[in-house]
Structure 1
Amino acid sequence: MYYAMGHFSKFLPRDSIRVEMKLVKEEKMRYVVPLKIVSFKTPINQMVIIALNQDTNHTQIVQVKDPDHGYLTLTLLPESIQTIVYNVATTD
Structure 2
Amino acid sequence: MSVLHCCDNNNLDPDDRFAKIRPLFEKLNERFMDFAPISQNHSVDEAMVPYYGHHGAKQFIKGKPIRYGYKMWAGTTPKDTFVGMNHIKAVRQQ
TM-score exceeds 0.5? no
Greater helix share, structure number = 2
Greater strand share, structure number = 1
TM-score of the superposed pair, with normalisation by structure 1: 0.31
Greater C-alpha radius of gyration: 2
